[in-house]
Amino acid sequence: MPRYLILVISFFGAADSIAKTVPSSPQSTMSSIGVPVSTKNPEAGLAVKEYQEYLSGLDKSSSESMFSAKNYFRDRFSGKDEEISEAALRLFMDYYSQVIASAQVLFDSKPEYEKVLGRVSRNYCNEPANFKSHGLAGDTSQSKAALEQMCKFINSGIRFADEEEGTVVRLKKDPAFVVDVASRVPGAYASFLRMYYPDAELPWANDGGLGLTWGQLGERISRWEKFSQRYSALPETAEIINPALVDYISVFTGESRLPNTPVFGRNGGIDPGLKKAYESFLENHKDSGYFHRVKDAFDTFKAQEPPRDPAFDALQLKITSAKENDVIEIPPGQYNVDLGNGLVIRDKKGLKIIGKNGGVRLISNSPDLEIVKITNSTGIVLDGLMIFHTVPVGCSAACISIMRSESITIQNSDIHGSGAFGIAAWGWDNKDIRVLSNKIHNCSSSGVEIHSAGGEISHNSFYDNNRDIDIGKPPRQSKDMEISDNTFSGKK
């Protein structure tokens, strides 16, 4: 239900009242409202009334009017009493919505604007050279006029959002513009605007899944909960913040489920992002009213996880604790990496990992989990390992992934069963990747895909892969890569 507040402005013995509607959402058209203004301060009341009269005289269809409204607010109300500045700020936000509604008519069903919608942004509009180099199907004058008109509104605090696959122009408030205005005055409403509009830029739910990460959702819950406790009397707290918190915590604890953002991964374990978000929330927000609710959810989900592989946990601990130039010999056996989210080799130098007696199997039952992840490391050697996914079809991960690393050698190993890649070195910031004397097979994308400066792929046996070797195409192609003495057979 709408909320109503009265702004009572009293001066020289006369009283006027303005009754306006508090919005159900700041994204909808806001009506100007106010809070009671002390009758002991007639000059302040008069200032707010004069601002309202000033706004009513501006041309709402003009982008320049937003500058006028903002400058007037800045000059007359910055640093003023909280009640007065909040009343004026609500008037400003109401006028902001009216300008957007009026300007929307200018852009509705106008193909010249729809065609350039994908180009306009604040950065684009601040670079004059852009207008000289873009045209619309040969009609450069039409293109320039459309872009210049849209840029006028962008530079006065109005954003363009595309809908229906980028063919419909929709206008909305610019969060940075709102924050800039709200930062000039104190009070609960100004604090709400400074928090809400930046957060609203990242919708929490989208297309049946989370629109942000689990960690971001946990932090938003904490931030909004604290706001709710501090500003419980603010109308927007009851109408916007508290209902949103009900939805947020329900999804965060798994009481409500989003179909495209499952709590559990396909390996049966808690989603790694959710697990990290729970741990962070419980560590950093012990005073939250939601603490026990989150803890109960986390405990419940942990109890539903399949048992971890203690042999793998011990191996990961050895690797995490390894010093420079250490050699780790892995005893024969099978190591399931699923609940450990892969064997992680990060920030290591000179580490050698050797499978003893050719009997070491690193496996994953998860189709989207990289089995070995090498990141930001130098001089790593993997030798004598069998690495494979057990999923026969639908696998989308690599057996071994390499990123931001140098002088990596993979040799004398059997790498197979990946639905995407056997060995994948991505990012174009890898150097000297060596793939030597391995069996690489049954990969439905590429046996080896390497983006690297320098390296060697030699003496390997490739078979039953969709592609055996992919080093990119010019100009994005691995350079100084030696490829020799490999065998190829049985492509799919």
Classify 174 as helix, strand or coil: coil
Task: For residues 16-42, give the mean pLDDT.
Answer: 38
Q: Is the pLDDT of residue 186 over 60?
A: yes
- Pick the more confident residue, 45 or 43: 45
CA distance 172 to 101: 9
For residue 402, the enclosing domain spans 310-489
Stated as kind and residue range, the H or E segment containing 223 is helix 214-230
Percent of the chain predicted with pLDDT > 90: 50
Arithmetic mean of pLDDT, 300-323: 93
Region of residue 379 (left: phi > 0; alpha: psi -120 to 50; beta: else)? left
Positive/negative CA dihedral, 467, 472, 478, 480: positive
- Whether residue 140 is found in the same domain as residue 248: no
Whether residue 160 is found in the same domain as residue 259: no
- Rounded (10°) CA dihedral 175, 180, 182, 185: 170
Instruction: Please report which confidence band the pLDDT of residue 113 belongs to, taking 50, 70 and 90 as the band edges.
Output: low
Residues 254 and 314 in one domain: no
CATH number, domain containing residue 436 = 2.160.20.10
From 252, 270, 304, the end of a domain falls on: 304
Rounded Cα gap, residues 29 and 469, in angstroms: 57
- Please state whether the peptide bond connecting residue 475 to the residue before it is cis, i.e. omega within 30 degrees of 0: yes
The pLDDT of residue 168 is 62
Residue 208 lies in a domain: no
Any idea what DSSP says for residue 271?
P
324 in the same domain as 292? no
Cβ neighbours of residue 348 closer than 8 Å, sequence gap 6 or more: 319, 322, 324, 377, 378, 380
pTM of the model: 0.68
pLDDT band at 39 (very low <50, low <70, confident <90, very high): very low
Q: What is the largest CA-CA distance in the chain?
A: 99
CA distances (Å), origin 1, targets 27, 91, 94, 256? 16, 21, 19, 25
Q: What percent of the chain has pLDDT over 70?
A: 80
pLDDT at 479: 75
Binned at pLDDT 50, 70 and 90, residue 453 comes out as confident
- Scored b (16 or more CB within 10 A) or e, 64-92 reads ebbebbbebbeebbeebbebbbbbbbbbb
What's the pLDDT tens digit per position in 417-436? 776 889 998 877 889 999 99
Burial letters 31-54, b for 16+ CB under 10 A, else e: bbbbbebeeeebebbebbbebbeb
Of the listed ranges 151-160, 217-226, 375-384, the one predicted with least confidence: 151-160
* 209 part of a folded domain: no
**316 pLDDT more than 90:** yes
Q: Are 57 and 155 in a shared domain?
A: yes
Average per-residue pLDDT in the chain?
Answer: 82
The number of residues making up the chain comes to 492
Distance CA 385, CA 374 (A): 15
**Sequence-distant (≥ 6) Cβ neighbours of residue 63 within 8 angstroms:** 103, 152, 153, 155, 156, 158
Whether 24 and 75 share a structural domain: yes
Does any domain span residue 481?
A: yes
For 159, list phi and psi in degrees, rounded to 5: -100, 155
Asked if residue 206 is part of any domain, the answer here is no
pLDDT-based confidence at 162, cuts 50/70/90?
A: low
Give the per-residue pLDDT at 28.
36
Same domain for 321 and 283, yes or no, is: no
Q: How many domains does the chain have?
A: 3
| pLDDT-derived band at 321, boundaries 50, 70, 90 | very high
Q: pLDDT tens for residues 335-368?
A: 999 877 789 999 999 999 999 888 899 998 888 8
* Residues 265 and 334 placed together within one structural domain of the fold: no
In a domain, 234, yes or no: yes
Residue 145 and residue 28 share a domain: yes
Banded model confidence at residue 132, pLDDT cuts 50, 70, 90: low
Question: Which among 304, 321, 355 is the end of a domain?
Answer: 304
Q: Is 403 exposed, middle or buried (0-12, 13-18, 19+ CB in 10 A)?
A: middle
User: What mean pLDDT do residues 214-223 have?
Assistant: 96
Are both 111 and 254 inside the same structural domain? no
d(CA 188, CA 232): 9
- The identity of residue 116, as a single letter, is V
The answer as to whether 48 is a domain residue is yes
Rounded Cα gap, residues 91 and 34, in angstroms: 8
Does residue 301 contact residue 252 with C-beta atoms inside 8 Å? no
Token match 């190591």: residue?
335
pLDDT tens, 361-416? Answer: 999 888 888 999 999 999 999 999 999 988 767 788 899 999 999 999 999 999 98
Contact 426, 451 (CB under 8 A): yes
Are residues 113 and 142 both part of a single domain? yes
Q: Which domain-ending residue is among 304, 327, 347?
A: 304
Using only the alpha carbons of the chain, give its radius of gyration: 30
The arithmetic mean of pLDDT across residues 115-142, rounded, is 58
Residue 44's pLDDT is what? 66
Same domain, yes or no, for 263 and 147? Answer: no
Distance in angstroms (rounded) separating the CA atoms of residues 167 and 51 = 38
4 φ, ψ (degrees, to nearest 5): -125, 135
- What does the pLDDT read at residue 38? 43
The residue ranking higher by pLDDT, 60 or 149, is: 60
pLDDT at residue 463 tops 80: yes
Judged against a pLDDT cut of 60, whether residue 485 lies above it is answered with yes
Tell me whether strands 386-389 and 487-489 are parallel, antiparallel or unpaired.
unpaired
pLDDT band for position 283 (cuts 50, 70, 90) = very high
Contacts of 104 (CB under 8 A, 6+ apart): 170, 171
Is 207 inside any structural domain?
no
Residue 121 has pLDDT above 60, yes or no: yes
